[in-house]
Amino acid sequence: MCADIYGVAKIDVYVPERRRIVIHGKVQGVGFRLWLRNVADSLYLYGSCRQLPDGSCEAIVQGDRRVIKQFVIACKRGPAEANVERIEISLLAIDPALGSFQVER
């Protein structure tokens, strides 16, 4: 809990969300998927990532809506060697079976 400017307590509410994020640009051969896993792990997000045949990288993430926004901001930046041109984001249904963030081949 935290207080607003009037001292009234606000309750932080966990709002689960699951998103598909496709990152376009120079994202192969630069450690992008391992970097995504590290970011997801540091934010306590579940899901996976993989390279797509067109050279883009797909991440499926699930967790708190506010935390996913932080993940999206990180995706726009990418690791130092990457060059992110654009990202596509879509909403997916929550998957209660998701576990830790995995890098797929």
Model pLDDT for residues 73-97, shown as the tens digit of each residue: 999 999 999 999 999 999 999 999 9
Contact 88, 76 (CB under 8 A): no
Average pLDDT (26-38) is: 96
**Torsion, CA 27, CA 32, CA 36, CA 37, rounded to 10:** 140
Helical ranges in 21-98 per DSSP H: 32-42, 65-77
Q: What is the pTM of this model?
A: 0.86
Residues ≥6 apart with Cβ < 8 Å to 91 = 17, 18, 19
In the structure, what pLDDT confidence band is assigned to residue 30 with cuts at 50, 70 and 90?
very high
Contact 69, 87 (CB under 8 A): no
Model pLDDT for residues 40-79, shown as the tens digit of each residue: 999 999 999 999 999 999 999 999 999 999 999 999 999 9
Q: At the top level of CATH, which class does the domain 15-103 belong to?
A: alpha beta
Query: Quick one: which H or E segment has residue 60?
Result: strand 57-64
Domain boundaries, the chain: 15-103
Average pLDDT (3-16) is: 72
| Both tokens assigned to 98 | 């998701």
pLDDT at 15: 86
